[in-house]
A and B are shown apart, each in its own frame.
Chain A
Amino acid sequence: MDTGMILYLLSLATMTGLYAILTLGLNLQWGFAGMFNAGIAGFFAIGAYATSILTTPPAEDRFGGFDLPIPLGLAAGVLLSAVLGYAIARICLRLKSDYLAIATIGIAEILRLILRNEAWMTGGNRGIAGIPRPFEDMEQPWGELCFLLLVAGIVVVLYVAIERAWHSPWGRVMRAIRENEEAAEAAGKDVVAFRAHVFSLGAAVMGLAGGLMAHYLKFIGPDATEPILTTFLAWVMLIAGGSGNNRGAVLGAGVIWVIWSGTELLTQRLPPDWQTRSSYIRVFLIGLLLQIVLQRFSHGLLPERPPRPPESDSG
């Protein structure tokens, strides 16, 4: 394998990692707590724009460009998403599932439109270019490899943390709320507070995904936050992988992104006369493969496996 193919595989793995983070965030909200968030794009955008504005060099045509270190930018994005998630949760969480979904779509769209139109802050339609990427000064492919390792490290840390939460009493309460809200409430659990926590936590993880994506792309514009490549894709990844299963969330991100990207390598091999049509054939192929995955594995590639209660001899 030559360096070029290695570089492509690195990019494939990096994008998988970035989407895995986004999907893990959604798994917290939907897989754990059964909260239908249809506004992933909004949290993703907040994280992406916050770090972009803070870490780029000073710009003339918009606010910001503070040239701050990347970790600080990412932290700010995460914090902002978390706070926003918490606020939205407090406002909307009394709504039942489908009403919550509608409210989150609305809020995400409002956010997206603000980011698109407040050009003094976000560069408007022009977006923000020149976002620094960690390790970009290193030779190819080492810089790309280091960035992948960073993303992979974050995925592992998140995975372990969320797994532990899943097995903790907190995780059990979340599942109880998901399965039967009234019962959980009757057992003395503060349902609204728990749901606000988990929603905010999920939003923070989504903000992190957005921030890392902005650094990876080195550019962020309103097109990067279109729901199809954020909200829609994260949902497909989670459902294909298996909601409620963190390993499934990561696997789903991998399978779906490989389908999304890899199909083009197939359609590029069509005869020249088909060239103008090849991209449309690819879109069709993506749809078809998603159908196959979702039909074949209706509970996800790795379905949820609730932890067994510890074997006890008290009975």
Chain B
Amino acid sequence: MFRSFGKLFFILAAAAVFAMPAARADDQVKIGLLFDVTGPVANFVPPMLDAAKLVVDQVNAQGGILGGKQLATVVADTQGAPQTAVDAANKLVNAEHVPIVVGPLLSGTVLASAQSVIIPAGVVQISPSATTPAVTTLKDHDWVFRVVPSDAYQGPVLAKLLIDKGLKRVALTYANNDYAVGIAGTFRAAYKKLGGVLSADLQHDEKKTTFRTELATLAKNKPEALVLIAFAGASGVTIVKEALEGGFFTQFVGTDSLRDKVLIEQVGEQNLKGIFFTSPSSPPGTPSMDAFEKAYSAAFQTTKDKLFIQQVYDATFLAALAIQKAGSLDRKKIRAALRQVSGPGGEIVGPGDWKKAVDLIAAGRKIDYQGASGDCNFDKSGDVAGVIGHFVIENGSFKQVGIVTP
């Protein structure tokens, strides 16, 4: 009896699973959300799903998509691991037939799902938060996009800032972690291209307790400054301290990893004259940002302490715009359309301006979506330029004195 019940249960469950995808609603347009809902970043995901829901509600309240159809999303969970990410992407792309995918969030799940499923199937994928430089170099035939700048983006910006400041011969040292190695690599290439000379180029072990030997090597040939890519709390502060004590360097340049209160507290502002930093920053109070802030807070209380909600909103909104522009669920047309709605160039559309965008598209006008997270203009590898600020120390704290573009 139990045995037959068990069998029946399995047969029914299997039948239900495979029969259900047949029941697809034709009056709905579904965007696939491939998110790492469970797994290592589970805590961050619920507010992000809210951000995607905000797009859906706005679109449906302003007349729907593709001539009055309802926009909807369908979530697939990568569980934060490559195996399950590939499986989840398969379900979205092949079983659910979504025309476009937003996500995943982690670099590993993006790389696995993109290479194994999404690129071969030919579907546009927009990641809100994967920052690994490997996404840039994927052979993706223009299917993979992201609305967050690559870790590597800061390197060229840093190079540009140094040249602008007249520092043409510097020593470089960077910690042995993913972050520092990545930035150092792109900085090195860009700096040399701009005519800069690296008098020394040295990776250091961030777990060491003293760096005097390294500093002696770095200070040879009298470079004009020390470019230090390391976390203040790990090797950063120690290197600055020992460089000052030993008289190796007086001019330092750092990235966001060194832009840490600890540096000022332990070294003292008076010893850090002339130091400057590059660091990812947000565009100061753009109308797009304010519009998102207001809409999100009205629906979900607050945007405070919620990570990457702006990027999720932008990615989802861009996905909807691309479908509307393509005028169909044709995946190839959507790929072409995405670049026509994201800019640069065209009428400016911001978060929540769905009706306006639909009218502009109907009138055959080009659109430039200005997102909550930045201008969302994709370069040829599908990356966005981040907003990188130029920071100095003033009155015991860090102050942004400008935005640097490479």
B272 within 8 A of A: no
Closest chain A CB from B98 CB (angstroms):
10
B109's nearest neighbour on chain A, judged by CB, is A223
Residues of A near B334 (CB, < 8 A) are: none
Among A140, A224, A266, A296, contact of B81 (Cβ-Cβ < 8 Å): A224
Q: What number of A residues sit within 8 Å (CB to CB) of B?
A: 53
- How large, as a class, is the contact surface on chain B? 35 or more
B134's nearest neighbour on chain A, judged by CB, is A129
> Are A223 and B91 closer than 8 Å at their CB atoms?
no
Closest chain B CB from A113 CB (angstroms):
15
CA distance A266 to B329 in the complex (A): 24
> Are B115 and A130 closer than 8 Å at their CB atoms?
yes
Question: Contact flags (1/0) for A190-231 with B, using CB distance below 8 Å?
Answer: 000000000000000000000001001111111110101100
> Are B115 and A219 closer than 8 Å at their CB atoms?
yes
Residues of B near A220 (CB, < 8 A) are: 82
The residues in B between 97 and 128 inclusive whose CB is less than 8 angstroms from any CB of A are: 97, 106-109, 111-112, 115-117, 120-121
CA distance A130 to B93 in the complex (A): 21
> Are B38 and A127 closer than 8 Å at their CB atoms?
no
Residues of B near A130 (CB, < 8 A) are: 115, 134, 138-139
Among A143, A261, A275, A278, contact of B91 (Cβ-Cβ < 8 Å): A261
The answer to whether residues A265 and B91 also contact, given A125-B178, A258-B14 and a CB cut-off of 8 A, is yes
A181 within 8 A of B: no
> Are A264 and B77 closer than 8 Å at their CB atoms?
yes
A280 within 8 A of B: yes
> Are B121 and A124 closer than 8 Å at their CB atoms?
no
The answer to whether residues A126 and B20 also contact, given A4-B97, A268-B91 and a CB cut-off of 8 A, is no
B364 within 8 A of A: no
Closest chain B CB from A167 CB (angstroms):
29
> Are B46 and A276 closer than 8 Å at their CB atoms?
yes
A274's nearest neighbour on chain B, judged by CB, is B75
Residues of A near B94 (CB, < 8 A) are: 3-5, 7-8, 11
Question: Contact flags (1/0) for A17-44 with B, using CB distance below 8 Å?
Answer: 0000000000000000000000000000
CA distance A261 to B331 in the complex (A): 25
CA distance A272 to B2 in the complex (A): 35
The residues in A between 268 and 294 inclusive whose CB is less than 8 angstroms from any CB of B are: 268-269, 272, 275-276, 278-280, 282-283, 292
Residues of A near B185 (CB, < 8 A) are: 60-61
A251 within 8 A of B: no
> Are B87 and A219 closer than 8 Å at their CB atoms?
no
A150 within 8 A of B: no
Closest chain B CB from A7 CB (angstroms):
4
The residues in B between 13 and 60 inclusive whose CB is less than 8 angstroms from any CB of A are: 13-14, 16-18, 20-21, 37-38, 40, 46, 49-50, 53
B5's nearest neighbour on chain A, judged by CB, is A296
> Are A129 and B111 closer than 8 Å at their CB atoms?
yes
Residues of B near A279 (CB, < 8 A) are: 37-38, 75, 77
> Are B108 and A127 closer than 8 Å at their CB atoms?
yes
* Between-chain CB contacts (< 8 Å), 25 pairs: A5-B18, A7-B90, A7-B121, A11-B94, A15-B87, A61-B181, A61-B182, A119-B181, A126-B134, A216-B86, A218-B115, A221-B111, A223-B109, A229-B84, A264-B88, A265-B20, A266-B17, A272-B73, A275-B53, A275-B75, A278-B75, A279-B37, A279-B77, A280-B38, A283-B38
Among all A-B residue pairs, the 8 with the closest Cβ atoms: A279-B37, A279-B77, A218-B115, A4-B94, A221-B108, A219-B112, A7-B94, A8-B94
